[in-house]
Structure formats: C-alpha cells, structure tokens
Amino acid sequence: MADQELDPSTPSSLYMLSAFLAMEPAESLVAFARVCGEGSVTETVQRFIWDHCLSKADGKSHAPYVRNFLKKLITEVELNHGVVLDELYEQYAYYMTSLKDDNLVKGNARVCKFISFLFPDGCSELPSCPNSRKLVVPLQCSLNMLKGDTGCSVWPSSLFLSEFILSFPELVSNKSCFEVGSGVGLVGICLAHVKASKVILSDGDLSTLMNMKRNLEYNNLNIGTAGPGRVTDGLNMVKCIHLPWESASESGLQDLRPDVILGADVIYDPVCLPHLVRLLSILLTQRKSYSHKQNDSRQGSLSDSISVGDKVNHINRWNANEKDDRLDGKVNGAKQANTNASGDGFDACGGKTIWDGTTCGARKGPLAYIAFVIRNVDTFNQFLYLVDQANITITDLTETLKPINLLPYMQSYDRSNVRLLVLELLCISKEEMEVEVIHSWSAPRSLSTGLMYSFAQRDDMEVLDEPLYAHFLRVTGIDRPYREELLSKVESDGNKAVKEVIFGPGRKKYRFCKHIAKQHLSGLPSDLMKKGKHFILIRNPLDILPSFDKVVPPSFRELGLAELVSIYNELSELGKAPHIIDAADLQRDPEATLRGLCDDLDIPFQEAMLKWEAGPKPVDGIWAPWWYKSVHKSTGFQAAKKYPATFPFSLYGLLEQSLPLYNMLKRHVKQTSSLLNPPLPPPDLPVPANEKLLAWVGDEILTRDSAKVSVFDSVVQGGDSVWEGLRVYSRKIFKLDEHLDRLFDSAKALAFNNVPTREEVKEAIFATLIRNGMFDNAHIRLSLTRGKKVTSGMSPAFNLYGCTLIVLPEWKPPVYDNTHGIMLVTATTRRNSPNNLDSKIHHNNLLNNILAKIEGNNAKADDAIMLDKDGYVSETNATNIFLVKKGRVLTPHADYCLPGITRATVMDLVIKEKFVLEERRISISEFHTADEVWTTGTMGELTPVVKIDGRIIGDGEVGPVTQRLQDAYKKLTEESGVPIPAYNETG
C-alpha cells in the first residue's frame, strides 16, 4: 500500500478531495484519510493529500483552514506513531509563522469554498449531469461557515434544495424560477445548470446581493440586475434583484409571475414572516383566473391538505427529529402519484412521473418549494397560521421526493433535519373570492376617515366608505345637502347593502367598511354583526363637539355614542367583544396603535398604513366635500395640538350626556406599549370576585369603576373624612352600633354639618350588602366625608352640600395569617400625640400610619409597631396590640392610639376567660421577651405574632392564651351582631 498511489477516482479518494474543496471540518477530512489508508493515515495518504489538496490550495484564502487541518492531520499521525511527511511539517511551520495575527484573516475576509455534487452511477442520462460524474460549484464564503457574514453561510436547507433541483430537474427545467432570499446563490447556480428558462434571484441585503453576483461570475453565468417589474428577457442569464420583503408590492412584482418559487431557510424571523407570506401569496397568484370549483381529478390536492391544527401538532415531532408517518401519509396526493403499482417508492433516476402539480388535474398555477430546518417551533407555527390565512395550502414532500445523496462526503450537512414543503394557492377566482370583512364603528369626527385612508394603502385591502349611509337617510328621513344624489347612486336597501355590498365578492383578501354608529338601525340582517371582524374607534367628546356643527348642529343622536355602546354590548353577547382604539392614541403613536389593531384583527401590519397622499380619494363617499376638507389636507395621522381649543360651553349639557359613554368604552381600550410610556399591566385583585361589586356613594349605588367622589370633595382636598371598618358574619354585622357610635363621635369632634341620620346610614349599609349578596365573610369600609365644596379651599364654610356617605363592601377574609402568626418590626415613625391630632378621632388622614407601614414593607414584615413620643409601644400601623407574660395579659393605654372596638371586645373576653388584664405603659423590650403577642382589628380579627424585630416570641408558635381567646372571639361573632334584613319579595 505504501508503494501504490491512491486513485483519485475511487469513492474514498473522491470523497476526501471533495471534502477538502468544500472545506469540511478537519475531523471529517482526517476520518476520510483513515478510510483511504484502511484504518490509518499512511504516507501514501499523506502524499495524496499533499499532491491533490494542499499543493493546489490558494495559500492566501485557504491559509487559516489549511493550518487547522494540518494541525489535526499531523497530530493524528504522531499519536499513532506514524511518519509525517516533511512537506507537511514545513507547510505547517510556514502557516504558523506567517499567520501571526488572526485578525488579518477575520472580519470581511472570504475563502473560496467548492461544493462538489457527485452523481452516482446510472445518472448520466439526467440533464443535470450529462457525460459527467460531478458538478463543482465555487462559492465565496466567510471564514466561519456557521456564523459567517451576511450572505456568506451555506446552510443545510440550501444544500438540500440544491440537491433537490439536481435530482429532479424536470421540476424546473424550461420554467421561470424565482428564489426569495438567495444567500450565496447556490440554488440559483443549480437552477441555471438544469436549464431553467429564467432564473431570478432576490435578496433584501445589498452586501449579500453583491456577494451573490460574484459567485455567479465565478460560475461563468451572465448576470442581469434589475428591480421588481424591470426584469429583461434573455436566455442563459441569471438576474439579481434587490427585494426587501417588507417593501415588496403587488404592482412591482406583477411582471415576474414565475412558474416555480424557491426558498431555503427563509422561515426564521417572526417579524419578517407576514411580509414573506404576503410575497409568496403575490408570486403564487395565477396568471389567469380559474374557477374555485374543484373537480374530482385533483386527487385530493386540496381536500387532503394538512389543516393548521394537524400542522402545528406535527411540528413538535419535527423539532425532536422524529419521523412523522402520519404527516407523510397526508401528502397531497404525492405518494399516490409517485408510486408504481408494485408499491415501489419513487426512483430519482428512473424517470417516473414527478409531482409538479400536473397530477392534480385542474391545478395550473405556480408552486413554491421551501426547504427549512425548524429553529423555533413557535415561529414555524406562526408561519403555518399565516399561510393558512393567505389561502395557501402546504404539502410535505420530504419523504416523497427524496433527492439523490449528491454530497456524500459532506459530513457537516445533516439532511435528516431538513424538511421540504410545496406551497400552492387555492384555486379561487379573484372575481369570485369571498373577502374577509373588517368593520370599523365610530362616532362622526373621530378620525375615522383618516383610518379608512390608512387601510386603503394596504395592497390586500379594499375599502367602503359608510355603505349603510343611504339606508340610514332613507329610513330616518334626515335631510342632508347631498341626500338625493346619495339615494340615487348608492344602494339604500339595508338588506341588499349588507348582503351584496358589504359581504359581496371582492378582488382582494380583505374589505374595510367604515361605519358610523348611528347608521346601525334595527332591522338590518343579523349577518352584519355576526360575520367579519369588528373594532370600535372612539374619541373624547371634548374633541368631537367643537368641530361638529360645521355641517349639522350637534345632538346626542348625531353623536351616536349610545349606539356605540349598544354595538359593543351586542358584539360582546355574540362572543366577539370588539377591539377598541382611541383616536388620541392614533395621534400620539399611530404606528404602535395600528400594529396593535392589526394584531387584534389577525392581519399583518403594513408600513404603508402610516402615510397617504393629500387630496380627495377615489374611495371617498359623495358627502366628502362637506365633511372631509381637513382630512384631505393630511398625509398621515398628525399629533394633536399641545393646547386644545376652548370648549363651547353652549354644548356643556351634551358633553355631560356623552362623556360617561365615552369613559365606559375607554375602559376597554387595550393600551399599547411605548418606549417612553410603557403601559401598566392590569393588576390582579387579591379576591377576584371583587372585580364586580356595587358601592354606595352619596345617595346612590354605583358599579366599581363608576364609584367616585367629586374632585371638590373634602376627602380629596384634605383627607377630611372619618371612617369605620365593619365585618359581616352569617347575615349579621358584628358590633355595628359600636362602630356607628364612634363614626358619629368622630364626625362631631370634627364639627361636620348636615350629617345623615343613624337610620339613613344603616339603610345604606343594608341596601348595599343586599344588592351585592354579601351576607358572610365580607368587610365594609364605611366613610363619611365633610362633603363637596362649592370651591376649592380649606375652610369648612365651603362645604354646603352636606356630607358624602361611602359604603364600600368587599369579599375579604381576615387579612393576616391567624393560624401560623405574623412578623412585626418597630418603626421609627412615632404615633401622633393628642397634642397634634387625637387618635380617638377615627379620621381618614392616615399618613402617619402609612409611613410606618412603608417601613414594615421595606423590612418584609407584615406590619410595624409604632411607639409614642416617650418610646413606649402604642399600637401597630393598623391594629391594637396585646402581650402575655406569666399568665398576665397586658395592652398599652389608649392615650396615643385608637381605642379599637375589637380591642375592647378582646379585653372583655380576657376577663370572661378568667385572665388577669393589665392596661399600662409597655416598652418594646417587654414585647421582645413576652410569652405571647397578638394584634386586634376588624379586618384581621385576633392575629398571633411569632416574631418581633427578629426575636422569636415564646416558642415561635401560637400560644395557648391566644388560641383560647381566638376561639372565644369566633364564638362571639357567631352569636352576636345586627341582622341584615331579609329581602322582601312583595315589598
């Protein structure tokens, strides 16, 4: 073996030579060298490598790669105690001394990589390999093949698609072919090799495009450069065009109309997918329209296509590299068309019928072949969804049309991860296409016309300007300057307008219908609301009303905000709660608002929606000269003026009527994010059931979001209010009278006037609880403010409206852990002295307590202990406090704290349970060394304390005295309380 030379034509030698030209990983080359040497890298093998590989390598461009290979090769021989050729040592030494600075060979440096397609015996009759056993394609590529510069990497998908073209040339020969995203140009070179009639390569990156053109020149191909729509005719020419997907337009691509579209590794960026699918949809559109009626000769091409659900279910298997037999069995007739009667699979060299759509009978349109490796399952699922929405069918051909293994030497190429899909547009005539309708509902003067112009800029959208207007004028009899012209030219029959105009056939995928809410009259077909996608555009009446009377006097009916609310409710009842956008958001951040709207409508956003040309539009309604003068001056959504115009107070009554309706709808606006003002996410409620509750404010019961007090109320202007906390147990309000006594005492101490009577307060409490159905495990925050002022100011003399009563009930279990106990810390904030603000007045000015609570929060404690001015314990920020020491129960004097009602109740229970009770000054160290500690309050009841300032209280468990008093308190709440009156059916 040492005296014989290796034959370069043997498969092992040919594989090693091809692997070197393709710059395969050094480990792969060494493995091939072992095969050639029958297990070891002999001197003969080394000589072959020197003569046929190293001596012919381009020393400049291949140097880093060759140096690495030499290092691996020499190490392999030395480890096996072989003899290394002197030439190899010398060459390695040369590279080690000449390549001192790796930076010189990094960055934008390229190497020439040779892809050698090796055709097996018996394939010489194929047009792809006449009288030749190999096709060598030189390519300029970056040094790092896995992380190369833009346009320089050769990915498995590109290799697979190239093999596919060379294995099945009949699919593309004599056909016009277009590749979306062409990278280094390998696929295009293979298309030219098999004699495609026209080859057009595109890419959105200019540096990639330049690299692609160089590779075409290296392969002796004529190059034509053009933009979309300007491709010149010519044989044997590969044309390159700069085509960013997001800017591709239907008009710019209309002259291309290829027979075959190809793409390798184009499914990778979620942001780009809508643009890619739109591009594919344009390219797949047939040159001539044809019927959507399918005949039986299609062999299941459409009926057997994979549903989105099936596709999504199978992607996870693909991602896990598992074979999916079920998916392969659902290929659109491909297996049936390419399997002979004996059941043999398709023989790539046998010349049998190949699947190009002709087996499907009526299918005459172009096909797209997409090779891909799933990088991200969610991204690919999004692709499946988008193509389904675009009316494109997908068929998996990976197992059906397996290309010949033309790259046997390329061990870095893992074909098992690559899938091949064929895409085609459903056979539906454009003239007979059922469009998807998007309904926009708004009040007049709400930027609705600008929004219509925005949607009109899309290449997949047709628009209708108020298709129900004529019906509205005919039914209502309302007069307008253009009434007769409108009725004579536009369909005024509501049924026909809905069925034939709004939902009639169209030429584009979507139809945008601008509706004014007041035109939604009763008697219209139910399909109007049941079909299509709906959204609502709102605008603050403060902005609508000043400009409204330029054409007609404003009125509640003309505004139509009540109808907008009705439309929202009707759609919600149908299970189609509409997306709501605010005109103010359109003006403040049009792109973010439109993107959010498009996401909600499940349509891709298009940049074109942000701009339009000034002047009248073909889509304008007949009424445009009267209403659209200002919008005709616009070219996009303009930011609102910094300072608005003065409101005409002659319309104040109309504003009062309409503003609550606007506010109701505004609560359902989905906030869009912004770099400057990110939206706050809706918070989770501690008790979700409290999302819907009724509260008493003033003299009425209101919903949660409507339960508000005036900005002139004293509680807003100075915290001038008193309050109580009440708890409901088993249809009874515990200690109601005691709490009301303290409420009225506090109000009297603060000199409130026009205070409601005790019975009035009770009736408000009872009515609110009954309305909410809250009869157990509920808490009431009862507030009485000094009331609304006639003007802002401190003086109670301005309070001439009487007090404001607030009854706020909530489902609320005890707020502390009464089973295991809580932790407290001592706050530096001192409790108010009676010299400043007497704590016996149960007032709403709780800043002193809140500051202490902040300290507790920062210490990650449940609450904070507050000391008096002399350093003795007063209470916590929210509760009274007790301790047990050697069987004696102690609690601080109420000099600096609120004498709580729960505190008094527990003090009575201490005596009833035969414990010694002592009320005196207590230092914080006494609490640190106590046997037991607990707090008391209406919201928390009787809560054990197991740690204070890091000190374990007692043994760290709930003590026996605490447990005994908890049981006594629970029994008392079950037995006492003021009953809530039963609902009287006849009353």
Q: Which of 20-29, 215-224, 600-609 has the lowest mean pLDDT?
A: 20-29
207 has a pLDDT exceeding 90: no
Mean pLDDT calculated for residue range 366-372: 93
664 has a pLDDT exceeding 60: yes
Beta carbons within 8 Å of 63's beta carbon, 6+ residues apart: 95, 98, 99, 105
CA–CA distance, 452 with 616 (Å, rounded to integer): 13
**Given this model, what pLDDT does residue 767 score?**
93
766 has a pLDDT exceeding 60: yes
Three-state secondary structure call for residue 700: strand
Alpha helices per DSSP H over 170-221: 186-193, 206-218
Domain ranges for the chain, please list them: 11-99, 113-225+235-286+365-428, 436-640+652-667, 690-811, 822-978
- Are 705 and 952 in contact by the 8 Å Cβ rule? The answer is no
**Given this model, what pLDDT does residue 306 score?**
35
Residue found under tokens 């409130």: 752
CA distance between the termini of the chain: 114
254 has a pLDDT exceeding 60: yes
User: What separation in angstroms does the CA of 845 have from each of 717, 783, 826?
Assistant: 11, 12, 21
Q: Which of 15-19, 125-129, 568-572, 867-871 has the lowest mean pLDDT?
A: 125-129
| pLDDT tens digits, one per residue of 901-931 | 999 999 999 999 999 999 999 999 999 999 9
- Are 638 and 612 in contact by the 8 Å Cβ rule? The answer is no
Same fold, 113-225+235-286+365-428 and 436-640+652-667: yes
Residue-level length of the chain: 987
CA–CA distance, 208 with 211 (Å, rounded to integer): 5
**Given this model, what pLDDT does residue 602 score?**
94
Strand partners, 944: 934
**Given this model, what pLDDT does residue 124 score?**
53
Compute φ and ψ for 866, nearest 5 degrees. Answer: -110, 135
Q: Which of 21-35, 38-52, 206-220 has the lowest mean pLDDT?
A: 21-35
Strand partners, 883: 890, 933
Mean pLDDT calculated for residue range 14-43: 83
Three-state secondary structure call for residue 78: helix
CA–CA distance, 586 with 885 (Å, rounded to integer): 67
**Given this model, what pLDDT does residue 493 score?**
94
| pLDDT tens digits, one per residue of 398-416 | 888 889 889 888 877 878 8
**Given this model, what pLDDT does residue 978 score?**
96
Mean pLDDT calculated for residue range 957-962: 96
110 has a pLDDT exceeding 60: yes
235 has a pLDDT exceeding 90: no
Protein fold of 113-225+235-286+365-428: Rossmann fold (3.40.50)
The DSSP symbol for 908 reads H
pLDDT band at 795 (very low <50, low <70, confident <90, very high): very high
Three-state secondary structure call for residue 736: helix
User: What separation in angstroms does the CA of 983 have from each of 41, 693, 731, 732, 815?
Assistant: 98, 18, 12, 14, 30
- Are 945 and 939 in contact by the 8 Å Cβ rule? The answer is no
* Position with higher pLDDT, 391 vs 466: 466
**Given this model, what pLDDT does residue 99 score?**
59
Domain 690-811, classified CATH 3.40.50.1100, yes or no? no
| pLDDT tens digits, one per residue of 129-185 | 655 678 888 887 765 543 433 334 567 899 999 999 999 999 999 999 999 998 889
Mean pLDDT calculated for residue range 384-395: 83
Domain 822-978, classified CATH 3.30.1020.10, yes or no? no
| pLDDT tens digits, one per residue of 839-883 | 899 999 999 999 999 999 999 999 999 999 999 999 999 999 999
Q: Write down the number of H helices and E strands in the chain.
A: 33, 31
Average pLDDT, the chain: 83
Mean pLDDT calculated for residue range 729-755: 96
Mean pLDDT calculated for residue range 262-277: 88
**Given this model, what pLDDT does residue 93 score?**
79
Q: Per the confidence metrics, is the pTM higher than 0.75?
A: no
The closest of 752, 791, 746, 767 to 699, measured between CA atoms, is: 767
Q: What is the CATH number of domain 436-640+652-667?
A: 3.40.50.300
24 has a pLDDT exceeding 70: yes
Highest mean pLDDT pick, 263-272, 641-650, 778-787: 778-787
CA–CA distance, 893 with 882 (Å, rounded to integer): 11
**Given this model, what pLDDT does residue 60 score?**
55
711 has a pLDDT exceeding 70: yes
**Given this model, what pLDDT does residue 846 score?**
92
Q: Which of 325-339, 362-376, 433-447 has the lowest mean pLDDT?
A: 325-339
**Given this model, what pLDDT does residue 352 score?**
30
**Given this model, what pLDDT does residue 549 score?**
61
CA angle 390, 396, 397 (to 5 degrees): 130
- Are 60 and 112 in contact by the 8 Å Cβ rule? The answer is no
Helix axes 561-573, 652-666, angle to 10 degrees: 20
| pLDDT tens digits, one per residue of 510-551 | 999 999 999 999 999 999 999 999 999 999 998 888 877 666
Share of residues in the chain with pLDDT > 70 (%):
83
User: What separation in angstroms does the CA of 301 have from each of 260, 389, 423, 623?
Assistant: 18, 18, 11, 48
